[in-house]
A = this chain, B = another copy of it.
Amino acid sequence: MLKKYILTPGPTPVPEKVLLEMAKPIVHHRTDDFSSIMSEAKGKLKKIFGTANDVIILSGSGSAAMESAIVNTLSSGDKVLIVNGGKFGKRWVEIANIYKLNVILIDLKWGKSLKSEDLEKKLKEHKDIKAVLMQSSETSTTVYHPVEEIAKVLSEEEDIILIVDGITSVGVYDTRMDEWGIDVLITGSQKALMLPPGLAFISLSERAQKHMEHSNLPKYYLDFKKEMKIQKLNRTAYTPAVSMIMGLNVALGMLLEEGLQNVYKRHALCAHATREAVKSLGFTLLCEDVPSNAVTGFYLPEEMEGRGFLKYMREKAGIIFSGGQDYLEGKVLRISHLGYHGGFDTIIAISALEMGMKKFGVDIQLGKGVRMAETILFENMDIV
């Protein structure tokens, strides 16, 4: 018997209620029944995005949504400023290069958060920037970038749009797209929104929609000029992932029923408990600045073979942790707090970490991390 515990920053656990909804018979996507589900789901998405604009539902991954953000708002040769401080910052660069944009970088050491001064400096150097692209939560480095502050800096810049990958921050943080002035905001289904992978969500400000009018990059499936018009009628241009949208409606309903502020508090609390527990066990956090409440990362002991540890935990203990990405592979461990994750999931994570590390010969005092996590969680037991 091996019970499995998904503690990765995507996919994340899916509530039974959502799985059962997705097991219902298919609704035809060219019917009023389907449009009414779309309409409900979109209403809920707007609350989580903090926007009065439509939130487009894409059948595709978060990466498809990232690409769509670029191809719908920019034109060939446009100068874009990319916050390059992790694997997903790098992905912005990759996509921008494919479409031959003129890429300017803010390079950050992995583990560091963006400072608004860094942005201001680059804006002074380059007067013709058309868009700033960033992550709010950089999953690979477990760092939070201060998107509200960044939006404030850009609020004075008429012609620059702010494109934010909120894949692991929407549903984790109180995000106010309209109020803060985010122009394009993206998220995916398999993170805080408690769904399997397969859907992505994107919303465009009025300013971004104006950019869209003259964007000349090639696109077909991801063309929002067509998609947005049709989605306003709660239909889709192409066949959508119907079951997932049915599940989405239920999952978002659960989040709203819990209360969005409680959802954000729960993520913050589990993240805080995990960070303190991990530190109390002697590990060093990967994040050197503002840590993300989506995922906590820390360095493994130097002599340790991280891939072997992950494999052991997965195969022998049923615990699915994440390792490091890119040059951090094998060197760090990441534990998610995303989505359908409560206080006892945090306890399982820390307990498994303690036992697993001891198994691998690390000098760990069993129970020490759990004690720290409990100390933080127990005051708020009724919200986790």
Residues of A within 8 A of B (CB): 1-3, 5, 254, 258, 262-263, 266, 316-318, 340, 342-345, 347-348, 351-352, 354-356, 358-359, 365-368, 370-372, 374-375, 377-378, 381-382
Instruction: Check B355–A366 contact: CB distance below 8 A.
Output: no
Instruction: Check B378–A355 contact: CB distance below 8 A.
Output: yes
**Nearest Cβ on chain B to A313's Cβ, whole angstroms:** 9
**Within the assembled complex, what's the spacing in Å between the Cα atoms of A377 and B266?**
29
**Within the assembled complex, what's the spacing in Å between the Cα atoms of A97 and B258?**
52
A313 — nearest CB in chain B belongs to which residue? Answer: B381
**Within the assembled complex, what's the spacing in Å between the Cα atoms of A268 and B263?**
38
**Within the assembled complex, what's the spacing in Å between the Cα atoms of A343 and B32?**
48
**Nearest Cβ on chain B to A382's Cβ, whole angstroms:** 4
| 10 contacting pairs across A/B (C-beta < 8 A) | A1-B266, A5-B344, A317-B381, A344-B348, A351-B351, A355-B381, A359-B378, A366-B371, A366-B375, A370-B371
**Nearest Cβ on chain B to A22's Cβ, whole angstroms:** 13
Main secondary structure of the interface of A (DSSP, over half): helix
Q: B residues within 8 A CB of A374?
A: 351, 354-355, 366-367, 370
One complex includes copies of this chain to the number of 2
Q: B residues within 8 A CB of A359?
A: 378, 381
Instruction: Check A1–B367 contact: CB distance below 8 A.
Output: no
**Within the assembled complex, what's the spacing in Å between the Cα atoms of A370 and B382?**
20
Q: B residues within 8 A CB of A356?
A: 381
Instruction: Check B344–A352 contact: CB distance below 8 A.
Output: yes
Instruction: Check B344–A370 contact: CB distance below 8 A.
Output: no
Q: B residues within 8 A CB of A254?
A: 1
Q: When A and B form their complex, which 5 residue pairs have the shortest distance between CB atoms, in order from nearest?
A: A367-B371, A355-B378, A316-B382, A366-B374, A370-B370
A1 — nearest CB in chain B belongs to which residue? Answer: B258
Which among A3, A342, A351, A371 has the highest number of chain B CB atoms within 10 Å? A351
Q: B residues within 8 A CB of A316?
A: 381-382
Q: B residues within 8 A CB of A371?
A: 365-368, 370-371
A378 — nearest CB in chain B belongs to which residue? Answer: B355
**Within the assembled complex, what's the spacing in Å between the Cα atoms of A36 and B202?**
52
Instruction: Check B3–A342 contact: CB distance below 8 A.
Output: yes
**Nearest Cβ on chain B to A62's Cβ, whole angstroms:** 23
Select one of B340, B348, B381 contacting A1, CB under 8 A.
B340
**Within the assembled complex, what's the spacing in Å between the Cα atoms of A355 and B318?**
25
Instruction: Check B342–A1 contact: CB distance below 8 A.
Output: yes
